[in-house]
Amino acid sequence: MTSHAPVPPAPLVDPFGRSVTYLRVSVTDRCDFRCVYCMAEDMTFLPRRDLLSLEELDRLCSAFVDRGARKLRLTGGEPLVRRDIMKLFRSLSRHLASGALKELTLTTNGSQLARHAAELADCGVKRVNVSLDTLDADRFRALTRRGDLRQVLDGVAAAQQAGLAVKLNAVALKGVNEDEVFSLTEFAHGQGMDLTFIEVMPLGEIDGQRLDQYWPLSQVRARLAERLTLEPIDYTTGGPARYVRVKETGGRIGFITPLTHNFCESCNRVRVTCTGVLYMCLGQEDAADLRAPLRASPTDELLHRAIGEAIARKPRGHDFVIDRETRAPAVGRHMSTTGG
Ligand code: SAM
Ligand code: SF4
């Protein structure tokens, strides 16, 4: 006898056998900062009608959860400047309650975190990544072109107060925060936070040259090792960071090295922009539009078909370079478009 029960959509597995279990969604391209490595001073943001509505974002995320996504990260732009964003966290928290989703999290610049920390925790968010490249207020303002360090530090404190585990992300910038690797480590580990260093990636046109900012993490690590004992450990958060434990502090430091070290072989993630464009790889141009199938029908068949077709094209990996011959960005879109 044949059953007429709806067939659950198939889990997403790419052509290289990698399961897609991690979705990062940019909920806005807007931001209250203009970090020098991320945006130009005078960014033109997208017309609001091009953005997915909160309902569309919910449908899209839920479709991925139905297909096996276990971890969902909201990012941007600055996710916490999107109006009513807590409604989205609230509605997505049902997937945590049902057990379908293991983790709901976000990457934030921290400026609005003090206001939202308690509600995020109430929605089931357990961890949050806060970007913080410097602990010097003047330098912070220059680097973000407008940010207030105090506000971010208050946000971090509020998140910890609310019981959220905070990880700090610092982009390693030559000539900018080179002298802060120890103070950032001390600050993070002193408050029980992990710290991850990120290499500058060639994403989107910015004012100035990335070659001037590029500081390979091999050198960051060597600098840290001058004073600290770095013990390699197996710890992973499912992301691309490789971790060490600092013997002196007991805390962890992660290194994300897209340029000097290829981590594509274990890639389990895809990204969706705030306009519903699915990128199967951060470093490749190939993409699939999910907004059209979302808007074409109130049910999700077209959406599921588009997602399935896109994952079948997920490439083996990327090929970033920053060198003197390759001055143009590897991909034209900004990190704030694809979502960090
Ligand atoms: N606004 C939020 C924030 O700053 O955390 C979320 C979005 S931001 C694009 C996510 C992460 O990407 C941040 O940690 C930021 O430092 C990083 N980022 C932005 N542009 C980058 C670039 N060109 N290379 C490496 N990391 C970059
Ligand atoms: Fe905004 Fe984050 Fe980009 Fe800085 S890194 S400009 S905070 S989106």
| DSSP-assigned letters across all residues of 36-88 | TTT--TTPPPPPGGGSPPHHHHHHHHHHHHHTT--EEEEESS-GGGSTTHHHH
- Band of pLDDT at residue 164, cut at 50, 70 and 90: very high
pLDDT value of residue 9: 82
Residue with tokens 């992301």: 239
The pTM of the full predicted model, rounded to 2 decimals, is 0.91
What's the rounded mean pLDDT across residues 178-185?
97
Ligand nearest the Cα atom of residue 32: 2
pLDDT of 212 strictly over 70: yes
- Where in the chain are the domains? 22-338
Between 54 and 175, the higher pLDDT residue: 54
Residue with tokens 């960051």: 220
Interatomic CA distance for residues 300 and 303, integer angstroms: 5
Nearest CA to ligand 1 atom 17: 340
Interatomic CA distance for residues 287 and 38, integer angstroms: 21
For residue range 220-277, list pLDDT tens digits in order. 999 999 999 999 998 877 677 889 999 999 999 999 876 554 567 778 889 999 999 9
Query: Do residues 66 and 20 lie in contact, with contact meaning Cβ atoms separated by under 8 Å?
Result: no
Ligand 1: residues with CB < 6 A are 31, 37-38, 75-76, 78, 107-109, 131, 169, 171, 198, 200-201, 203, 335-336, 340
Q: Which helix (H) or strand (E) holds 283?
A: none
Task: Give me ligand 2 centre to Cα 291, in Å.
Answer: 24
pLDDT value of residue 132: 98
For residue range 41-64, list pLDDT tens digits in order. 999 999 999 999 999 999 999 999
Beta strands in 66-193, from DSSP E residues, in sequence order: 71-75, 103-108, 127-131, 165-171
Query: Do residues 172 and 215 lie in contact, with contact meaning Cβ atoms separated by under 8 Å?
Result: yes
* Ramachandran assignment for 14, one of left (phi > 0), alpha (psi -120 to 50 degrees), beta (any other): beta
pLDDT value of residue 323: 44
pLDDT of 329 strictly over 70: no
Opening angle at CA 269, ends 126 and 200, nearest 5 = 85
Ligand nearest the Cα atom of residue 131: 1
Ligand nearest the Cα atom of residue 206: 1
Q: What is the largest CA-CA distance in the chain?
A: 72
Quick one: fold of 22-338?
A: TIM Barrel (3.20.20)
135 DSSP 8-state letter: S
- Ranked by mean pLDDT, the top range of 64-78, 203-217, 266-280 is 64-78
pLDDT value of residue 264: 76
The minimum-distance atom of ligand 1 relative to the CA of 169 is: 14
Q: How distant is the alpha carbon of residue 172 from its chain centre?
A: 16
Token pair for residue 56?
């569309």
For residue range 83-141, list pLDDT tens digits in order. 999 999 999 999 999 999 999 999 999 999 999 999 999 999 999 999 999 999 999 99
pLDDT value of residue 1: 43
What percent of the chain has a predicted confidence (pLDDT) above 90? 72
pLDDT value of residue 322: 46
pLDDT of 200 strictly over 90: no
Beta bridge partners of 26: 75
Least confident of 78-82, 201-205, 241-245: 201-205
Beta bridge partners of 103: 71
pLDDT value of residue 324: 41
pLDDT value of residue 325: 46
Nearest CA to ligand 2 atom 8: 77
Ligand 2: residues with CB < 6 A are 31, 33-35, 38-39, 76-78, 109, 131, 336
Q: How many CA atoms lie within 13 A of 159 on its CB side?
A: 31
Task: Enumerate helices (H) and strands (E) in the chain, giving the number of each.
Answer: 10, 12
Interatomic CA distance for residues 297 and 281, integer angstroms: 27
Burial class (CB in 10 A: 0-12, 13-18, 19+), 337: buried
The minimum-distance atom of ligand 1 relative to the CA of 106 is: 6
The minimum-distance atom of ligand 2 relative to the CA of 334 is: 3
Residue type, 74: L
Between 18 and 338, the higher pLDDT residue: 18
Ligand nearest the Cα atom of residue 155: 1
What integer best gives the mean pLDDT of the chain? Answer: 89
- Ranked by mean pLDDT, the top range of 30-44, 116-130, 200-214 is 116-130
For residue range 293-302, list pLDDT tens digits in order. 999 999 999 9
Burial class (CB in 10 A: 0-12, 13-18, 19+), 231: exposed
The SS3 call for residue 313 is coil
Token pair for residue 192?
């029980």
